[in-house]
Chains A and B, each alone.
Chain A
Amino acid sequence: KQEVTQIPAALSVPEGENLVLNCSFTDSAIYNLQWFRQDPGKGLTSLLLIQSSQREQTSGRLNASLDKSSGRSTLYIAASQPGDSATYLCAVFAGTYKYIFGTGTRLKVLA
């Protein structure tokens, strides 16, 4: 059974730091992996999607990597800003309808 784990559960950093959020999964048979951002009282916004054949994706200050063989993905945030404060979730897509979500990392960037 696929399990997705995100460590740490919470993270607090000063503004300007580069940081890495981790996502691990137990079954490498995935189609893709998505990183989402969740703001309080709001839905999930898709940040980056990495297909199983890809190693990384970049969007602005965000870079996500995928290592299927080791069951790991990282989300790198460069030059963090207070506006980056949110909960970040990863989800693996196992095909058809099945997304398995991690429990998220709650990030706080201090001004």
Chain B
Amino acid sequence: EVYLVESGGGLVKPGGSLRLSCAPSGFTFSTHTFNWVRQAPGKGLEWVSSITSSSAYIYYADSVKGRFTISRDNAKNSLYLQMNSLRAEDTAVYYCARVRSADGTPYDAFDIWGQGTMVTVSS
């Protein structure tokens, strides 16, 4: 079975840091681009960041640029999101999502999603 599992969410104070992880199962991790997508309570989906298969290309939403860092370790089959200088507006469920194409392109649909991990930024 193909799936993703996120971990690392929790409650953090404004200005604090968290590191999210995403672990895949049932497919070859190293050939796909991955993304982080978030959803604030009661709101729509917001793309956060993307990393290509070899980490050659990394993209961020303006709302997190300079504060969040996406990374991956293909040897450990893991995706990460380091979140620093957290703000109340970063409160959301964070999903990792796989890009459908196995050729490494980021320009394709997100076909596999994790269950999400909740990040709450509050004093």
- The answer to whether A and B belong to the same complex is no
